[in-house]
């Protein structure tokens, strides 16, 4: 199974990073931290490594860029304990344990610095424009996040707490302990707010057991998942929590328990998951009569969220167009033949970790 998701996202909090969840230092055989400029081949290097892994029968996790979903910010081959990550802004990553785990690939070794310097004024101008666009986009997202939180506050007033407990218990019913310790958590994003709109790859999560929590926006699905997550961790299961881009710090939108081949997703978030073995209706946890008093208010908030998202996406599109111009200041001055040689050396290096 080749999964596709995000390590960082454009959110009401600005760029929110979970890049520390790439691959744990203890389970990693090697993490390649790639440095370089825009358009210098970082994503291509990772795509080629992922292609090699797929051709050799390994599962891969492809970690996309929220500002350009066609590009990769990272790549993991879990069976080999190998990861690759773009270590440049806005998600600066540096080696934590150089040589024994982490190694740097510096693509700046293959550019014509003198030629690039001739474009200094353009590069500075483009970067200033991009920063300005994202500052505007994040203001729109902050406003969307405020309305999103307002919906959550209304729904919390109308929640049946017993229903939340029962739904979480249903997800963990019959759970057997997995060893004597507690499990670990990875924090990630399955969806991203991008220049292409809201993008997600739920169809790549083809687990044997899929559960969908059907409900309203901010209708309690995250609280159910938090309760279930705590039970899984307590019983020794490692879990992956995929957060809501509009509430990136604390709202779980999707939950994976790899050891159980279990994927639990809420259909009250930005991208819905259509296929499931079993669904749980969460609207029953909202007191309908109490909710009726807020019907017009909720409809208005939802419309405003959509408007703010559209505005943010429009501004990010302009940032992406400017970033394409920025890449044009680098691409002609890269020695991609030599970078292909780097790819071959990396593949040979990764192959040593194969069985």
pLDDT tens by residue, 329-343 = 999 999 999 999 999
* Percent share of the chain, pLDDT over 70: 94
Q: Domain for residue 131, yes or no? A: no
Residues 6+ apart with CB under 8 A from 152: 218, 247
* Lowest-confidence region among 50-59, 137-146, 176-185: 176-185
- Burial degree of 282 (CB within 10 A; 0-12, 13-18, 19+): buried
The answer to whether position 302 is within a domain reads no
Kindly report the backbone phi and psi dihedral angles of residue 58, in degrees, each rounded to the nearest multiple of 5, phi listed first: -95, 145
Residue among 88, 87, 96 at smallest CA distance from 30:
96
Task: Give the model's pLDDT for residue 165.
Answer: 87
Q: What letter would DSSP give residue 77? A: E
Range scoring the smallest mean pLDDT among 80-94, 195-209, 260-274, 305-319: 260-274
Tell me if 330 is assigned to some domain: no
What per-residue confidence (pLDDT) applies to 295? 85
Q: Is residue 163 domain-shared with residue 281, that is, in the same domain?
A: yes
Are residue 51 and residue 168 in the same domain, yes or no?
no
Asked if residue 75 has pLDDT above 90, the reply is yes
Q: Are 73 and 7 in contact (CB under 8 A)?
A: yes
Whether the pLDDT of residue 268 is over 60: the answer is no
Domain contains 198: yes
Domain co-membership, 208 together with 280: yes
What is the count of structural domains for the chain? 2
Res 107: pLDDT:
97
275 with 166, same domain? yes
- 101, 84 Cβ separation under 8 angstroms: no
Contact at 8 Å (CB) between 63 and 76?
yes
Range of the domain at 106: 3-114+335-351
21-41 pLDDT, tens digit each: 999 999 999 999 999 999 999
The answer to whether position 248 is within a domain reads yes
**Secondary structure E strands in 189-301:** 191-194, 197-200, 209-214, 239-244, 247-257, 262-266, 278-281
Residue at 316 is within a domain:
no
Average pLDDT, the chain: 91
3-state helix, strand, coil in the chain (%, to 5): 45, 25, 30
Pair 242, 309: CB distance under 8 Å: no
Burial class (CB in 10 A: 0-12, 13-18, 19+), 124: exposed
Can you tell me the mean pLDDT for 94-123?
Answer: 96
Q: What is the pLDDT of residues 187-246, one digit of tens each?
A: 999 999 999 999 998 889 888 898 888 777 777 889 899 999 999 999 999 999 999 999
For 7-152, where are the E strands, in sequence order?
A: 8-11, 14-17, 30-35, 61-65, 68-77, 82-86, 102-106
| Residues 6 or more apart whose Cβ sits within 8 Å of residue 317 | 195
Q: pLDDT-derived band of residue 273, with 50, 70 and 90 as boundaries?
A: low
305 belongs to a structural domain: no
The pLDDT > 90 percentage for the chain reads: 74
For the ranges 89-93, 142-146, 205-209, 264-268, the one whose mean pLDDT is highest: 142-146
Please state the pTM of the whole predicted model: 0.94
pLDDT for residue 274 is more than 60? no
C-alpha dihedral (64, 67, 69, 73), degrees to nearest 10: -20
153: burial class by Cβ within 10 Å (0-12, 13-18, 19+)? exposed
> What number of CA atoms fall less than 13 Å from residue 167's CA on the CB side?
31
Is the pLDDT at 355 greater than 90, yes or no? no
Same domain, 100 and 193: no
Alpha helices, H only, 61-119: 113-117
CA distance 245 to 178: 31
Chain centroid, CA 99 distance in Å: 27
Q: What is the C-alpha to C-alpha distance for residues 220 and 133, in angstroms, rounded to an integer?
A: 34
Summarize pLDDT for 245-254 with one digit per residue, the tens.
Answer: 999 999 999 9
Distance CA 188, CA 8 (A): 7
Residue 14 lies in a domain: yes
Q: What is the pLDDT of residues 150-182, one digit of tens each?
A: 998 888 887 778 888 888 999 999 999 998 789
Residue 55 has pLDDT above 90, yes or no: yes
């Amino acid at each position: 199974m080749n999964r596709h998701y995000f390590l960082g996202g454009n959110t009401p909090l600005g760029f929110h990073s979970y890049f520390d969840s790439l691959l744990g230092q203890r389970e990693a055989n090697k993490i390649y931290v790639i440095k370089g400029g825009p358009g210098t081949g970082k994503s291509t290097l990772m795509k080629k490594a992922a292609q090699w892994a797929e051709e050799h029968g390994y599962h891969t996790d492809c970690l996309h860029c929220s500002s350009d979903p066609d590009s990769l910010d990272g790549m993991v081959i879990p069976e080999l304990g190998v990861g690759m990550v773009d270590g440049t802004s806005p998600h600066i990553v540096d080696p934590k344990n150089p040589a024994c785990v982490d190694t740097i690939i510096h693509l700046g070794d293959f550019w014509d610095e003198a030629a690039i310097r001739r474009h200094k004024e353009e590069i500075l101008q483009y970067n200033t424009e991009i920063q300005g666009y994202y500052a505007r986009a994040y203001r729109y997202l902050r406003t969307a996040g405020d309305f999103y939180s307002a919906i959550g506050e209304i729904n919390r007033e109308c929640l049946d707490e017993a229903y939340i407990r029962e739904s979480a218990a249903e997800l963990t019913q019959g759970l057997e302990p997995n060893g004597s310790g507690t499990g670990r958590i990875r924090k990630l994003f399955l969806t991203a707010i991008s220049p292409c709109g809201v993008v997600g790859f739920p169809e790549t999560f083809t687990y044997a057991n899929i559960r969908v929590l059907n409900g309203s926006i901010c209708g309690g699905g995250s609280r159910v998942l938090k309760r279930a997550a705590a039970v899984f961790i307590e019983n020794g299961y490692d879990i992956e929590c995929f957060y809501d881009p509009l509430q990136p710090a604390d709202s779980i939108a999707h939950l994976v328990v790899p050891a159980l081949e279990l994927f639990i997703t809420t259909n009250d978030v930005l991208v819905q998951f259509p296929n499931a073995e079993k669904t749980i209706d969460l609207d029953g946890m909202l007191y309908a009569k109490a909710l009726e008093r807020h019907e017009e208010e909720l409809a208005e908030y939802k419309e405003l969220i959509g408007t703010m998202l559209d505005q943010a996406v429009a501004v990010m599109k302009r940032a992406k167009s400017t970033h394409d111009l920025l890449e044009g200041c680098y691409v002609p001055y890269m020695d991609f033949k030599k970078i292909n040689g780097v790819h071959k050396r990396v593949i040979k290096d990764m192959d040593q970790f194969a069985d």
